[in-house]
Amino acid sequence: MAGRRALSLAAMSRLSWRYLWRNYRRTSIMLLAIGVGVWAMIFMTALMRGMVDQMIADGIDALPGLVQVHHPAFRDDPSIENSIPPPGPQLLAALGSPPVEAWTGRVKVPAMISSERNTRGVTLLGVDPAGEIALGFDPASVVEGRFLEGPRDPGLVVGRKLLERLETDLGKRVVIMSQDPDNNVADRGFRIVGVFEAKLSGHEERQAYAGLATVQELLGMGDQISEIAVTGGDYRDVTALHARVREPAGPQLEVLPWTELDRYLGLMLGVMDGFVLVWVIVIFLALSFGLANTLMMAVFERVREIGLMQALGMNPSAILYQVLLESLMLLILGLLLGNLLAIASIQPIRNGIDLSVVAEGFEMMGVSSVLYPALKMQDLVLANVVVIILGILTSLLPAWRASQYRPVEAIARN
């Protein structure tokens, strides 16, 4: 007896394609359902990804840097006692070579700021403006006046909200009070030379920038600094950057990546990938009922033809493959539609969606009021792979049932 044979892939594909469009209305509805489902997967993922990316980017800008060097006690007690010396020759060499792209030394101390009318607690930042800009401070965010012009700049740059709380204005004088290394009050008058707006309102309200040397002089801390902020490479993988800085910094200093400096932000990065997968699977589960039902109907309405094919010598396994191929075609068409819809709907809003109407709520989560959808290849691939794999799994039951009919019973069906 001759060996077992099956239809060629081309012949099976032609058969599947024709069966797929035999009931074009049902197929069109299912295609639309898959397309919209895939669109929802990709579009919502892009929005969420954009939101989290923005949250992380803003968070890193606010830190600033991907890696920071501190006194080991500084994070628990950010006072002047826990300052560190400026980088030595070894650390300087490391900071001057890849993957380090930029770094800056900063003073960061708690302080009180007083205007004629109000007093507020702030974080006083003594910065080198060039280094600060290299680390992510946007000079364009200074909406009134100017940013600092150098480490010895005597002026002060404050956030818009802080300015409002102090009920003062650009060009007016304020007094900054903090503590020197001998626990004495150190104070000084500053003229407000610039007002900045931040993506996160908390920064506008709690941070004040002054020249690094000016603050060091105010606090009598010589050339000591509170932290060294370092940036370079992709924020998703800071292992190399962290290693590059940690070794020359020595054991007496604490060198931490941003994921540990802000654990909430770091957690978001890890959670997001898992969340995308769960989201994609949840949407698919809703879709799978429709897909299974469509295939079941497609199989039930041609039981007789399936029996006929078996009677003519088509193997049960070939019938199973034929139904699966039909499902695969439906899935691929649905994916094409969904991907095109997603790309077409994300492209026009890639420059950001203004969510200022609900920005207050967003800022509580650390998200800015403009949302930039992030369409990532990995998310596209994930959505497509999940739909194909789970789609085929969902189709196995109807396909298996089709292959298990007894020819004589199947042919007798009306």
Partner 1 sequence: MPNILCNDLCKTYRQGDAVIKALDHVTLEIEPGDFICLSGPSGSGKTTLLNMIGGLDELDRGEISIDGQRVDQLSKGPLADLRLHHIGFVFQAYNLIPVLSARENVEFVMQVQGVPARERRRKSMAILKEVGLDGLEDRRPAQLSGGQQQRVAVARAIVSQPKLVLADEPTANLDSVSATHLMELFRELNQNHGVTFLISTHDERVMRYARRLIRMQDGKVISDEIQKSV
Binding footprint of partner 1 on the chain (CB under 8 A): 1-8, 11, 15, 18-19, 22, 304-305, 308-318, 406-408, 411
CB of 324 vs partner 1, minimal distance in Å:
17
Phi/psi for 178 (5° steps) reads -145, -155
Looking only at Cα atoms, what is the longest distance across the chain?
A: 104
8 Å CB contact between 227 and 70: yes
CB of 29 vs partner 1, minimal distance in Å:
19
Give the DSSP per-residue string, 281-297. Answer: HHHHHHHHHHHHHHHHH
CB of 347 vs partner 1, minimal distance in Å:
38
The residue among 115 and 310 lying less far from partner 1, judged by its C-beta, is 310
Crossing angle of helices 316-346 and 303-311, rounded to 10°: 130
8 Å CB contact between 214 and 152: yes
The residue among 311 and 365 lying less far from partner 1, judged by its C-beta, is 311
CB of 401 vs partner 1, minimal distance in Å:
14
Give me the amino acid identity at 63: L
CB of 325 vs partner 1, minimal distance in Å:
14
8 Å CB contact between 114 and 158: no
In 3D, which of 242, 165, 158 has the Cα closest to residue 197?
A: 158
Checking 4-9 for CB contacts under 8 A at 24+ apart, the result is 4/315, 6/314, 6/315, 6/317, 6/318, 6/321, 7/314, 7/318, 7/322
Write the burial class of residue 361 (CB in 10 Å: 0-12 exposed, 13-18 middle, 19+ buried): exposed
CB of 268 vs partner 1, minimal distance in Å:
52
The residue among 7 and 229 lying less far from partner 1, judged by its C-beta, is 7
CB of 333 vs partner 1, minimal distance in Å:
17
> How many angstroms separate the CA atoms of 174 and 192, rounded?
7
* Structure-block tokens of residue 204: 């506008």
The residue among 267 and 408 lying less far from partner 1, judged by its C-beta, is 408
Strands (E), 89-141: 102-114, 119-127
The residue among 18 and 152 lying less far from partner 1, judged by its C-beta, is 18
The residue among 164 and 305 lying less far from partner 1, judged by its C-beta, is 305
CB of 368 vs partner 1, minimal distance in Å:
55
In 3D, which of 198, 220, 200, 223 has the Cα closest to residue 209?
A: 198
CB of 4 vs partner 1, minimal distance in Å:
5
The residue among 52 and 314 lying less far from partner 1, judged by its C-beta, is 314
The residue among 213 and 318 lying less far from partner 1, judged by its C-beta, is 318
The residue among 393 and 408 lying less far from partner 1, judged by its C-beta, is 408
> How many angstroms separate the CA atoms of 142 and 43, rounded?
34
